[in-house]
Chain A
Amino acid sequence: MLEYNLRPSFRQKLMFSNTLTSPAFIAASGVLIITVIALFTAPYIGMADNGDFFRITYSNGLYFNQPDYDSQYFGYFIKQFGIFQYYNENQAILSSSQSLFIKLAIGLNKLLYSDKVFDVRFQAAMYTILYVCAIYILIESITWKMSRKQGLLIAAIAIFIFGDTAYTAFFNSFFGESVVTIMMIFVFGSWLALYRKRYNDYAMLALLVTSTVILTTSKQQNAPVGMIISVLAITLIWIRKDAFFRWLTMGSVIFMMLTGVATYLNISKEFVDINQYHAMTRGVLNLSSNPEDTLKSFGIDEQYAILKGTIYYEQYSTIDVKSPILQREFYSQYGFGPILKYYASNPGQLTSILNVAAKSAFTIRPPAMGNYEKSAGKEYGAHTLFFSGYSLLKQKLAPHTFGFVVIWVLVILGLYMPSCIAAVKEGNLRGIQRMALVLATMGVGVSGILVSIIGAGDADLSKHEFLFTLSFDLVTFLAVSNVIGRSIFKDVERNTTGAYNPEVHEGVGA
């Protein structure tokens, strides 16, 4: 007999109704305390600039005001930046939802601190609040109706995973990973709440759509995210009977899909060129046993074999990557489709490159960037060990092969399949949402790697693998929680008799 079906005693009811002692509150508070200690007390933890900050800071009215900024690249976290006082000639190079948060943080900074100097901790504070809210919704959606013991165990695991400074250190930086982390957890938590019918469906749908849109538009490479989520979110249309909800969900699905498409179309010509160059030099050619034959199969002059392994950003190179010769003889000969076809006919090469990808697929904290300020006296590029147990363990223990990723996908899908099949048989569309969510999350993570490899070889993998590592953590955490809650094989909203209870599916509110 399952724990959640037991009638709780009055005292238990009281305890559970007390928000302050709920697992979600404990998990959120735990993450908050650890994050505040890490990011807001000395020595402050953050992320060093790897050269990417320029694009997002200057277009948002911030500039590097430290005279020795250049010498701190990669090595040290810098917490203060200048705010442009006059006309900012730097047009937005990237249109990213991250700008909204930066602008908001600048506004807060001007209101409370200074209108000349920006302290990145205002942004971190904002991100921390959002992150804690996301964790609360996630844990509440998982532990709702669970026994206290189980709930507390899950809360402890949540703190261990999501309190890890490898995730939270991003908040003290201008990397888009901070927005990705928060929004992905909001997507996961809100979808799970829809499945559990924990909160008002309309509110959760709004949260799901908003966080998906922000996540999709936060980075250009996240374009597939909106598309994948929208496809699997189609199943949400039928979770309620009222027509208004169904039309609203349909509209939301279309909106999320269009956001993905728009993000894809908005990718600048320069990024398209960069990706296309890498797709061949760092992908197809890189692991080819005979690059000349490979080039011939694309109708490209065999002499281009010399470009094997080179990158777009090479400081000194033979040919200008934007030259008309390359446009005419190289770029024009291939695209996403032909490369996909090539990998389909050369699975061995695809496997090799996927294994290359898997080597850093379980790394949360980028190894290249330091976490401390120069004034902290730590050595150049030093990483913090404060509350990093999970990220370190994961990096050390996870098998770094793509085969493991495949096994993980199969095992998780296998675990959730019985409850999904049962829900399908009953025509319970809400009951299949857990499977849809797991599929969407895995799709977002794995497709990021696949699309990146086909679209840009191994050059951009590290950027795309963050979404995979986060998806892996969320799905694995859900699976572990469901095992603890003994709900992995069954839809938690079903009666013990297994009969479908239509009342439950009427939804909260509305």
Chain B
Amino acid sequence: MRNRVAMVVLPLFLCLLLLTPTPAQSAAAPPRVLLLFDSLAKGTVREGNVDELQKQLAAYSAQVTLVHLDQYVKGSMSDYSNVITVINAADITTDNHVFLEDLADYKGQYLHIGYNPTADTKEALHLSVAIQPGGSASLRIGGLPEANLQVQDMPYIAASQAERSYGNLLFLGSSVQVPYAVGSGKYTYVPYLKQGDGSSLAMACVLREWLHITDTPHSYLVLKEIYPFTDLNLLQQMADQLYQKGIPFIASIRPVFTNTDFPAMLRYLEALKAVQARNGSIVVNVPVIGPVISRSDDTLREKMSIFINLLADQGVAPLGVGAESYWTYDKEYAQTGLLFFDSAVLFPNKELHYMEQTNTSKAFISSLYSVPLDDLVTQYKTGSSGLTDLPMDTAIVADFPEDEAGMEKLLQKLEQSWIPFSDYKQEAHRVATDTHIITSSQGVISINGQELNIDYSPKAVSADFEYEHEQVKSFTRLFSVQNQFFIVAIIVSLVFFGGLLVIGYRMYRRKYMK
């Protein structure tokens, strides 16, 4: 009897587990990285390098905890699989004894970036560091094209005896050629990282090895700034052109939370279906945060859920989320807006609008490091050889063009870049709300287990729509008659009393004004 019950209950329980909407779950535990820094180097050439590291670590699906070196708490290092220290100030040595003692006992991997590596690091790598005051250098690492760097007070590895060496740095105008980074045992040292130049991708190559990432990286074309107000015909044309050129792409679409039953919204959905049919994958861009943030506003989760469900009901399958990186460092946004997704495209921060800032990031199973297409083209001589070996999954990002001329220009740039773009839906992605589970794998998209046929010919949307619902009225005829009766009665009374007034006035004049 007990077995019978178990036979009935167990499959039911399993079904329930499968059907119960759960937030996106990670398949494997992400690396936990403690990122320590001495300063954010505001106003110097190194400003933004900590931010750059955060972005790169996110792209390797690492969960990052950002802590100022002075606020390091004894014993906390052991909670992390990896530790990174960034020293941006040349005149500050790492003399936090608590940190140094913990580091000596630390069993995980340690990476030092910037000035003044710790004594242990120096000893382990037999390291000698020098400073290049200015000039330019050429950096070559992995399969990346050669990058030119303009340097200023740049620390470099003058001498070392290390087990591992990463890349080559050649100072132009001299014959000095040194490794970009070195490593031995648990210690790795990268002397230079600047956001926005060739050292950024070089750093990404070092991190890839340091975090033992073995998956083949892919590059994706991401078109963002797509709104319901975008020229939807141009959007479809763009999708057609890219399809004809064999370029798969991701459309990061802006969500709509109001008036979603309007014809304007239906046209937006039609255009998105057409994009999907042309090998375009859809990711939901997070909403714009308004100028005033109220901490009592807890509607984000509901709004995002409704929008995702609306898309899914209409046969549009979002496969991830597009957000500025700082969203992953906000407790409210991470737990409500990003909750539904296990894949993300993280864009550079423009304006920070935290609601509940935290120092530990949300990690995604799949997270794309984004590089603006224009930056990539100007930074590397992409030429015909192409940028085939970007170290991590990368989103090459371009804003959706305003007009046809802009579209032609963008298509030309894409052709000239020779970047082999991958199809986002070939990888595994999962989006889950209370009512829908959307997945993709090996090019197949499913909504609630049903394979989605993405072939679609857009239909014209009728502009006929009842914007104002007429209220049900009772006794309309009776009230109409009543209204007319009162209007007549009031006019008659006014005329009557007016007449009396005139007569009375005349009588008064006759009697007293003589």
Contact = CB atoms under 8 A, between A and B. Distances in A.
Contacts of A314: 290
Interface string B456-488: 000000010001100000000000000000000
Interface string B201-233: 000000000000000000000000101110010
A316 B288 CA distance: 6
Interface string A302-317: 1111111110111111
B467 to A, nearest CB: 6
B295 interface: yes
B502 interface: no
A315 B256 contact: no
Contacts of A426: none
B331 interface: no
A107 B377 CA distance: 61
Contact of A315 (B229, B254, B255, B290): B290
Nearest to A322: B291
Nearest to B253: A318
Interface in B412-437: none
B265 interface: yes
B299 interface: yes
Contacts of B227: 318-319, 325
A320 interface: yes
B297 A315 contact: yes
A303 B232 contact: yes
Contacts of A51: 292
B22 to A, nearest CB: 23
Contacts of B254: 318-319
Interface string B242-286: 000000000000111111001111011000000000000000000
Interface in A143-194: none
Contact of B264 (A305, A309, A325): A305
Given A51-B292, A288-B467, A303-B264, A317 B257 contact: yes
B259 A309 contact: yes
A72 to B, nearest CB: 12
B256 A289 contact: no
Interface string A283-295: 0000111111000
Contact of B287 (A289, A292, A301, A318): A318
A329 interface: yes
B289 interface: yes
A321 interface: yes
Contact of B229 (A312, A316, A319): A319
Contacts of A289: 467-468
Residue in A305, A316, A325, A329 with the greatest tally of chain B CB atoms within 10 Å:
A316
A306 B290 contact: no
B8 interface: no
B130 to A, nearest CB: 41
Contacts of B378: none
B300 interface: yes
A70 interface: yes
A19 B7 CA distance: 98
Size bin of chain B's contact surface: 20 to 34
Given A292-B463, A315-B294, A318-B254, A302 B264 contact: yes
A319 B230 CA distance: 11
A330 B230 CA distance: 12
A314 B258 CA distance: 11
A315 to B, nearest CB: 5
A315 B228 contact: no
Contacts of A305: 259, 262-264
B295 A70 contact: yes
Contacts of B258: 306, 308-310
A304 B229 CA distance: 6
A313 B290 contact: yes
A265 to B, nearest CB: 23
A301 B254 CA distance: 17
B467 A317 contact: no
A373 to B, nearest CB: 21
A295 to B, nearest CB: 9
A320 B350 CA distance: 12
Interface in A253-308: 287-292, 301-308
B5 interface: no
A292 B290 CA distance: 25
A317 B288 contact: yes
A307 B227 CA distance: 12
B303 interface: yes
Contact of B292 (A302, A310, A313, A329): A313
B268 A303 contact: yes
> Which 9 A/B pairs are nearest by Cβ-Cβ distance?
A316-B287, A320-B288, A305-B264, A303-B264, A315-B297, A303-B229, A315-B290, A306-B264, A318-B254
23 contacts: A289-B468, A290-B467, A301-B229, A302-B463, A303-B232, A303-B267, A304-B229, A304-B264, A306-B229, A306-B256, A306-B268, A307-B259, A308-B259, A308-B262, A313-B291, A315-B292, A316-B257, A316-B287, A318-B227, A318-B287, A321-B290, A329-B229, A330-B229
Given A51-B292, A306-B268, A313-B291, 13 more contacts: A70-B295, A301-B229, A302-B463, A305-B262, A306-B256, A308-B258, A308-B262, A315-B290, A316-B300, A317-B290, A318-B287, A329-B229, A330-B229
Interface of B: 225, 227-229, 232, 254-259, 262-265, 267-268, 287-295, 297, 299-300, 303, 463, 467-468
